[in-house]
Amino acid sequence: AAKESVCETSQTRIASCRRARRKGARGPRARGSSEMSSVEAAKEQAARAAVDDYVSDGQVVGIGSGSTITYAVVRLAERVKEEGIKVVCVPTSFQARQLIVENGLVLGDLERYPELDVAIDGADEVDEDLNCIKGGGGCQTQEKIVASCAKIFVVIADFRKKSSVLGEQWKKGVPIEVVPMAYRPVMLKLEALGAEPTLRMAKSKAGPCVTDNGNFVIDADFGNIEEPQLIEDKLNATPGIVCTGLFVNMAVKAYFGEEDGSVSTREK
C-alpha cells in the first residue's frame, strides 16, 4: 500500500486564492456566502500543495479536468504572476483548455509537447495503492492520454475521495468511453463480466452524454474492485471500448484536502 502522511496547511491558502481572483486569476467562487464550504476548501488546499511541490520553472504541465483542478490552475496562474515562472500547459478537455486560456497561461498540445514533466488531475476515488477511478466528468480518455505522457502523475482530491479499495466511496461505477455504434454489445459484455452498466444520459440535452471525442459513456458498477488491473485488462480487450476510467499504477502521489485544514498524502 502507498505511504500516508499528513502535513498542516495554513488557512491563508484559502485567502490567497481569493487574492488571486482579485488579481485576475479565474477559479471557482464561494457558494452562497463569502465562506467556502469545507469540501471546496479541501479541494483548494490539495490543489495548491501539489502545484507548489511539483511545478517549477520551464516545465510542461498536463492540466486535468473537473472541479478540483480549477484551484490548481488558479494557483499556477498566481505563481506565474508572482514568481515569474514559465510553464506550458497541456489540457485534457475543453474545460481544461478554457481554464488555461482564461487564466492567461501558455497553452500547449501533445503534438508540440508529446512528453510532459508532470500531470496534475483530480479523481473520483483513490485506493490505498493509488489506483484511481476517473471520468465522472466524461474526460477520462484525454486525461489518461495526457497522464501517460507525463514523467510524474499527481492526483488531487478532497477527503471524500480517499478509500481503501475502489468502489468503497464512488458508487456510480467505472466510466467507460465507447464508440456509439457499439454501446449495446459492450453493455451486454459488461453484464457478462459481472457489472451493472448504465448508459450515461446528458443533463441539459435529450439523449446520451457525448464526450469531447464524440463518443458515449457507460458507467459500469463492479462493486468493490479488489483487482483493478484484471478488470482493466478485460475491458481493454473488448472491441468498442475506447478507454476506461480505471487508472491503474499511474499515479505516484495523491494529495487529499482534509476537513480539519490539513493535507494528507499517499505516495509510492
Asked whether 71 and 122 are in contact (CB, 8 A), the reply is no
Asked whether 226 and 165 are in contact (CB, 8 A), the reply is yes
Cα–Cα nearest to 129, from 250, 258, 263: 250
* All three cell numbers of 216: 458515449
Helix (H) / strand (E) containing 3: strand 3-8
Cα–Cα nearest to 171, from 131, 208, 136, 217: 136
Among residues 143, 177, 232, 258, the one annotated as catalytic is 143
241-244 and 253-257 beta bridge pairing: unpaired
**Burial classification of residue 152, based on how many CB atoms lie within 10 Å of its CB (0-12 exposed, 13-18 middle, 19 or more buried):** middle
* Amino acid identity, position 159: F
Helices within 103-157 (DSSP H only): 140-148
Is 143 a known active-site residue? yes
Active site residues: 143
